[in-house]
Structure 1
Amino acid sequence: MNSEIGKTTIDILEEMVRLAGERLSPQAGERRLRHAARENPGVQLDVLWEQEAMQGAVHYDALLRVPGWGTVSVGYCPDRGVPWALRGAFRWSENEMLRVNDKCMTIPDVVALLDFLWDTPHLTDRLVETALVAEALEREPEAFAPTREELQAAVDGFRKRRGLFSAEATMRWLEQHGTTLQSLEKLVDGFARAAKLRERVTAGREEAYFAAHRADFDQAVIARIVVPGRERALALCAGLRAGEADLLDAATMALRAPQRADLPWQQPPPLLARVRRGDLPEERAAAVFGAVPGTVLDPVDTPAGHEVLVVRAIEPATFDAATRRAVRDRLFEVWLAERRSAATIEWIWGQQP
């Protein structure tokens, strides 16, 4: 056996035996296992855990990988316990994700629905980016550990974004999404750690990036109205330019149009919005930021219909708090893009036997 993985296997197993006799949180137990493997940097460690709902006992499994050699799975079950491999055991296809009554949905079905039919943007990109972030966090788990205050803020933010303002609402959400409170806590812990990673990646670089890309952060206040049919859009443009049409009345009529579809990808954008130059396609950005306030741009075809856009204001970029956040977003996107270009990506769910 590879000497590195052999020693680490013994160290991990001994730590699992000790953990079985202690009452630690899953996160604390995971940290202990990672600490046990710290002396062998050539071994990559993945830790899985499950906590019993009634007694609170935590069961761990560890995957130890040495690139170019192989993987060892380590688990320990106390006397009268249920081994990890037998917990909730039942037969299923590795390609299945959801079963409702007798209807089964596979992973390709779900990805197709979210990414293509329901217009969840760039779902596959987000999955890859999540894996890249997780990889970076696993290299230095202690460096990104959130404080109690940071973790509570992450939990509060998660619940607020989803309108979960009571314990009952939170439990209903967990049941509806097929998850547990422990899984939610682990997920939020991951969000908090990712925020600290983002802070490390971007800290101290914002002002230099802003100075080099200042124009990308110029903002425009725009009004957008989507109508069916190019002829109708051209007539609306002419009416707005001549002062014969009212912007709010036109938006109200567009929303009440009986022929407008209500599919998710055909929903019209909000009437008023603030956009940054760098977030628009190059041609559209040139038209918007090259116009004077009050200009009615020619209509463009969009998935929701023909869009008529009115430029309300142009605001040169200033390095305020909102712009700093936008710069950090951009810097982190660049960091992810660099790692993705160097990553080996294999889509397992799309392969057929």
Structure 2
Amino acid sequence: MNTFADTLAEAVELLRGLPRTRDGVPAARRAVAAWCADRPQTKVQLVTDVRPGSPIVDYDLVLAHPDGGDVALTAPTGDGVPWTVDHSTHFASGRVLTIGDHEVLVQNALLTLRARAEGDPSIQEELIDHCLLEELIGQETEKPTQEEIQDASDGYRIRRGLLSRDEMMRWLENVGLTLEAYDNHITGLALRQRVRARVERETARDYLDRHPGEFDQVWAVWATGPEHELSAGLPHAQPAGGVEVTSAVRAARELPEPLRRAAAGKTVGPVPYGRHHLVGEIRERRPADPDDPATLAAAGRAGFAAFMAERRAAADIRWHWL
């Protein structure tokens, strides 16, 4: 039977053998998990320090002592100074949150916040989803292809209007990123896009089968504004008094919530809607076509959202800063 001293010696060899690059972190976590599985009596936590703007990663192993308390092992590279001493700060000072063994660093959080567009989920959900996707990325056995990286980079730059090298370099300088840090971010983004595309493909048909009404093609006309302006129903003349009228053909799930399940010919409202009220009318409703590529793509996006909601509900989430 191994003594705690034997376990410490083995842990040192494990720690020294972990990959020290950013893209090797998932493999390091798998190696520690496998080592722990062979020693169920030993409680171990891997602490990861991903240096901002650098491909180098440092680790600690924290082992529970059989007589109480913990023992921390570190095996620094480079100048030999343990990263915990080098930083001289609280262990979570660089983190925004931790989910299981996966952490979101301040740098990752700021990138997420900068990329946030109006209409996306809350900041908290975005950060949680980032961490949950990182966990899925850690299960990928193949690195992103050059085509995946290029597609991710092109999409990232186009969304920000960075259409020339000069614009790109100015933007990197403004946000404080090196080219190396940008490349690391895009590599992760390419893997997240791969995982998302796979989940969308795997969930699209099932989600459509279970929620066909969400993808009916609906022609609806609705007005939003103060309740007293809508009390007579849907305006037929030029609206006034802060009333806004919309006529559109959309998938049912993309309509204002009060109209999504209404039948053809049905009038809804006035009902509370956001800061105002809504009144609307369903002019036509056609059942979803299960073989339509656009419908399947929309069902995949909805399936992915449901998939992530389930993972958020089941996750062990600890907030450090928010």
Q: TM-score range by the shorter chain?
A: 0.5 to 0.7
Tell me, in whole angstroms, the C-alpha distance in 1 between the residues paired with 2:64 and 2:89. Answer: 31
Residues 208 and 3 of structure 1, relative CA distance in 2, 3 Å threshold:
farther
2:183 counterpart letter in structure 1: E
Given that 1:137 and 1:193 are in contact with CA atoms closer than 8 Å, whether structure 2 keeps it comes out as: yes
The alpha-carbon deviation at position 157 of structure 1 amounts to 0.9
- Structure 2: 5+ residue runs without aligned partners? 38-43, 97-105
Aligned residue for 2:296?
Answer: 324
The alpha-carbon deviation at position 15 of structure 1 amounts to 6.2
- Structure 1: 5+ residue runs without aligned partners? 20-25, 53-57, 98-105, 261-267
The alpha-carbon deviation at position 78 of structure 1 amounts to 4.3
What is the TM-score with the length of structure 2 in the denominator?
0.67
Aligned residue for 1:334?
Answer: 306
For residues 169-205 of structure 1, what are the alpha-carbon distances to aligned partners after superposition, in whole Å with 9 as ceiling and x for unaligned?
A: 2333334444443333333322222232234445445
Given that 2:216 and 2:287 are in contact with CA atoms closer than 8 Å, whether structure 1 keeps it comes out as: yes
What is the TM-score with the length of structure 1 in the denominator?
0.62
The alpha-carbon deviation at position 73 of structure 1 amounts to 4.6
More off after superposition, 148-157 vs 166-175: 166-175
Aligned residue for 1:284?
Answer: 259
1:322 counterpart letter in structure 2: A
More off after superposition, 127-136 vs 38-47: 38-47
The alpha-carbon deviation at position 329 of structure 1 amounts to 2.1
Aligned residue for 1:133?
Answer: 133
Residues 3 and 122 of structure 1, relative CA distance in 2, 3 Å threshold:
farther
Aligned residue for 1:60?
Answer: 57
Aligned residue for 1:142?
Answer: 141
Tell me, in whole angstroms, the C-alpha distance in 2 between the residues paired with 1:184 and 1:272. Answer: 42
The alpha-carbon deviation at position 317 of structure 1 amounts to 0.7
Aligned residue for 2:99?
Answer: none
Residues 64 and 204 of structure 1, relative CA distance in 2, 3 Å threshold:
same
Given that 1:233 and 1:307 are in contact with CA atoms closer than 8 Å, whether structure 2 keeps it comes out as: yes
More off after superposition, 31-40 vs 306-315: 31-40
The alpha-carbon deviation at position 152 of structure 1 amounts to 0.8
For residues 27-73 of structure 1, what are the alpha-carbon distances to aligned partners after superposition, in whole Å with 9 as ceiling and x for unaligned?
A: 56657867876863647754624556xxxxx5331244679977655
Given that 1:220 and 1:275 are in contact with CA atoms closer than 8 Å, whether structure 2 keeps it comes out as: yes
The alpha-carbon deviation at position 310 of structure 1 amounts to 4.7
Aligned residue for 1:197?
Answer: 195
Aligned residue for 2:154?
Answer: 156
1:188 to 186, 189, 192: 186
RMSD: 4.5
Instruction: Point out which structure has higher relative CO (alpha carbons under 8 A, 6+ apart).
Output: 2
Aligned residue for 2:50?
Answer: 48
Residues 89 and 169 of structure 1, relative CA distance in 2, 3 Å threshold:
farther
Tell me, in whole angstroms, the C-alpha distance in 2 between the residues paired with 1:12 and 1:95. Answer: 22
Residues 231 and 325 of structure 1, relative CA distance in 2, 3 Å threshold:
same
Tell me, in whole angstroms, the C-alpha distance in 2 between the residues paired with 1:151 and 1:281. Answer: 36
Matches within 5 A, 1:62-101: 62-64=59-61, 72-78=73-79, 84=83, 94=93
Given that 2:222 and 2:234 are in contact with CA atoms closer than 8 Å, whether structure 1 keeps it comes out as: no
Tell me, in whole angstroms, the C-alpha distance in 2 between the residues paired with 1:83 and 1:66. Answer: 17
For residues 68-116 of structure 1, what are the alpha-carbon distances to aligned partners after superposition, in whole Å with 9 as ceiling and x for unaligned?
A: 977655431148xx8756778899x95999xxxxxxxx9xxx9xx99xx
Residues 194 and 166 of structure 1, relative CA distance in 2, 3 Å threshold:
same
The alpha-carbon deviation at position 222 of structure 1 amounts to 3.4
Tell me, in whole angstroms, the C-alpha distance in 1 between the residues paired with 2:9 and 2:29. Answer: 16
For residues 148-173 of structure 1, what are the alpha-carbon distances to aligned partners after superposition, in whole Å with 9 as ceiling and x for unaligned?
A: 10111011111112222122323333
Matches within 5 A, 1:1-353: 7=10, 9-13=12-16, 40=35, 42=37, 46=48, 48-51=50-53, 58-64=55-61, 72-78=73-79, 84=83, 94=93, 121-138=121-138, 140-143=139-142, 145-227=143-225, 229-235=226-232, 237=233, 239-240=235-236, 245=237, 249-250=238-239, 271-278=246-253, 283-287=258-262, 290-292=263-265, 297-311=268-282, 313-319=284-290, 320-349=292-321
For residues 225-256 of structure 1, what are the alpha-carbon distances to aligned partners after superposition, in whole Å with 9 as ceiling and x for unaligned?
A: 433x2222235x3541xxxx1xxx53xx67xx
